[in-house]
Amino acid sequence: MIVFKQIAHLQKHLQSAKKDGRSIGFVPTMGALHQGHLSLIKLAQSNSDIVVCSIFVNPTQFNDNKDFDKYPITIEEDILLLERQNTDILFLPSVSEIYPQGKKLSKPYELGLIETVLEGAFRPGHFQGVSQVVDRLLQIVMPDNLFLGQKDYQQIMVIQKMIELKKHRTKIIIGNTLRENTGLANSSRNLRLTESEKESAIAIYQSLCFIQENIAKKSISELQQEVAEILHNSGFRHIDYIAIVNAKTLAPLNNYSPSVPTIALIAAFIGEVRLIDNMIL
């Protein structure tokens, strides 16, 4: 694996690969890599000639400084995992390499409704920061395909919108959410859970399965109430949202109809850790 810290060196290398007609797959990450990331690298490998992974903990997407300070950094383990997975390139830039003119956005991205609901409502500014960094990374790497995980469903919608706004010539390929045997979705934040919190955290997945099983039998508000009970009884101390919405627009639904693409999404705190997960119904 070649590690590049500087944009100019990475671009020189990629330009010669592109001249040879090789396709580039890109997996952006903030490190603290887990099996979910590795499954995206594998997906990228089976769809590209060269795979670039980036590790950059983007300061502009954290609306809560405490969350940024506590974000796990495991760079040595990350490099070993990427090497073991035969990743071609790791891009490991500094903040000044990514934001040479400063971190302030000159003009906000016009993301519309998808920026203001669910994650957007609870983490103001988060999706502007995500758009800013992914826009910059796409300008640098110019990949044919961008690989993103379904766990961050709303993030995928936001990035798709940004790609359209900025006319990037990159296609998004979505990887399935990788789960532990218990159903808990792989996440870098799981590193911050104690063993008993990890056990309780399974309730998010169980809640999504409960919604899936009962979506045609109960009303949406009944499901939301019952799931809130399941989560509280399992030790979740605070719930940001239990949403059952249109999977194309994220607009709320009054009733379930099998002809409307529908998704359930949950965000809730176990101890100090905020977890998210979703299931397409």
CA pair distance 262, 281, nearest whole angstrom:
6
Q: How far is the CB of 215 from ligand PAF (least distance, A)?
A: 27
Does position 58 bind ligand PAF by CB under 6 A? yes
Exposed (0-12), middle (13-18) or buried (19+): which is 174, by Cβ within 10 Å?
A: middle
Shorter beta-carbon distance to ligand PAF: residue 153 or 256:
153
Q: How far is the CB of 52 from ligand PAF (least distance, A)?
A: 13
Was 150 annotated as part of a binding site?
yes
Was 155 annotated as part of a binding site?
yes
Q: Binding segment for ligand PAF among 77-85, 89-97, 113-121, 128-136 (CB under 6 A)?
A: 128-136
Amino acid 12 reads K
Q: What angle do CA 201, 191, 37 make, to 5 degrees?
A: 95
Are 115 and 128 a contacting pair, CB within 8 Å? yes
Q: Collapse the DSSP code of 277 into the 3-class scheme (helix H, G, I; strand E, B; otherwise coil) and give the result.
A: strand
Was 13 annotated as part of a binding site?
no
Was 35 annotated as part of a binding site?
yes
Amino acid 277 reads D
Q: How far is the CB of 134 from ligand PAF (least distance, A)?
A: 6
Shorter beta-carbon distance to ligand PAF: residue 199 or 240:
240
Continuous H helices in 48-110: 65-70, 75-84, 95-98
Does position 130 bind ligand PAF by CB under 6 A? yes
Residue of 59, 51, 62, 133 lying closest to 85 (CA atoms)? 51
Q: Is position 9 annotated as part of the catalytic site?
A: no
Was 149 annotated as part of a binding site?
yes
Q: How far is the CB of 228 from ligand PAF (least distance, A)?
A: 26
- Using CB under 6 A as the binding rule, the residues of this chain from 150 to 189 that contact ligand PAF are 152, 155
CA pair distance 56, 274, nearest whole angstrom:
20
Does position 134 bind ligand PAF by CB under 6 A? yes
Was 178 annotated as part of a binding site?
yes
Residue of 228, 226, 234, 237 lying closest to 274 (CA atoms)? 237
Among 25, 28, 36, 143, binds ligand PAF (CB under 6 A): 28
Q: Binding segment for ligand PAF among 5-13, 22-30, 163-171, 256-264 (CB under 6 A)?
A: 22-30
Does position 133 bind ligand PAF by CB under 6 A? yes
221-254 per-residue burial string, b: 16 or more CB within 10 A, e: under 16: eebbebbbeebeebebeebbbbbbbebeebeeee
Q: How far is the CB of 133 from ligand PAF (least distance, A)?
A: 5
Of 9, 37, 232, 238, the active-site residue reads 37
Q: Which residues bind ligand PAF (CB under 6 A)?
A: 28-30, 58, 61, 130, 133-134, 152, 155
